[in-house]
Amino acid sequence: MKKETQAQQLDHGFGPLYSDHSRILILGSFPSVKSREASFYYGHPQNRFWRIMRALYDPDVEKQIQNGKKIDPPASMNEKKALILDHDLALWDTIERCTIVGSSDSSIRDVTVTDLPWLLEQCPIERIYCNGTASYDLFRKYSLPVLEKWCKKQKREAPIISKLPSSSPANAAWSLPRLLDEWKKINLPEEGSVPDSDTLQPPHHPDHVPCRHRPDSPSEPPGS
C-alpha cells in the first residue's frame, strides 16, 4: 500500500467507547491510517494495545507473554469492545479533527479537541492514562486547559492524569513484556488506598498533571 505523504484535514471518524460504569479512560492522540480504515481503535496489526489488554485480564495470556510466546489480539471487534467495557474502561482520543500526514503525530496541526467534559458527564471517569508521549503531550497542550476550566466551573474533582509507554509498533525500544509490566498500573487500587510511586507523584513530576483539586478548597496533596 502506498504511504500517505499529503496532509489531509480529517475528522476522527468514530466516537468514544464507554459505558456508564467506565472509571478509567485510555486516551490516544488521533486514529492511525489503519484505525481510520477499521473505524475502531488500535487497528494496526502490530500495535500491542489489544495484546496488552488481553494479558491484563487473563493470567494465562500474561504467562505466555512473559515466556516469550506469540499471542494474537482478540479476533473480533465485539470481543475487543467487551474486553474494554467488561472491565469498566473507556477509549477515546485527544483530537476530534486535525490536519495530518498519514499516521504521523508530529505532523498534526489545525486541532479541534474531543469533548472530554462531555464524556465525564456520561460516566464516572476517575483516571486518564495517555497511551504514549505523543498522546500525553497533545493532551497537555490542547485538552488539559479545557478540562481544568470545566472542572473549576463545575466545582468538581478532575481525574488523575498519567502517561503510559506507547503500545505503537514505532515504540520498538519497549518489548511486549516490558510494556505489560508498566500497563499493569491501570489495575492498581484507586489513589489513596494503596501507596504507589507512580500514582502518588508530587504535582511537579513530568508524568503527572496537577489538575485534581476542588477550586473552593486548597489543592489536595498527592494521594489524598
3 located within any domain: no
Total structural domains in the chain?
A: 1
120 located within any domain: yes
Q: 13 is in which domain, residue-wise?
A: 8-209
214 located within any domain: no
3-state SS track over the chain:
CCCCCCEEEEECCCCCECCCCCCEEEEECCCCHHHHHHCCCCCCCCCCHHHHHHHHCCHHHHHHHHCCCCCCCCCCHHHHHHHHHCCCEEEEECEEEEEEECCCHHHCEEEEECCHHHHHHHCCCCEEEEECHHHHHHHHHHHHHHHHHHHHHHCCCCCEEEEECCCCCCCCCCCHHHHHHHHHHHHCCCCCCCCCCCCCCCCCCCCEECCCCCCCCCCCCCCC
Per-residue pLDDT of 144-199, as tens digits, reads 999 999 999 999 888 999 999 999 999 999 999 999 999 999 988 754 333 333 33
64 located within any domain: yes
70 located within any domain: yes
2 located within any domain: no
pLDDT score for 205: 36
**CATH number reported for the structural domain that contains residue 24 in this entry:** 3.40.470.10
pTM, entire model: 0.82
166 located within any domain: yes
Per-residue pLDDT of 70-91, as tens digits, reads 999 998 999 999 999 999 999 9
192 located within any domain: yes
Per-residue pLDDT of 28-61, as tens digits, reads 988 888 998 998 999 999 999 999 999 999 999 9
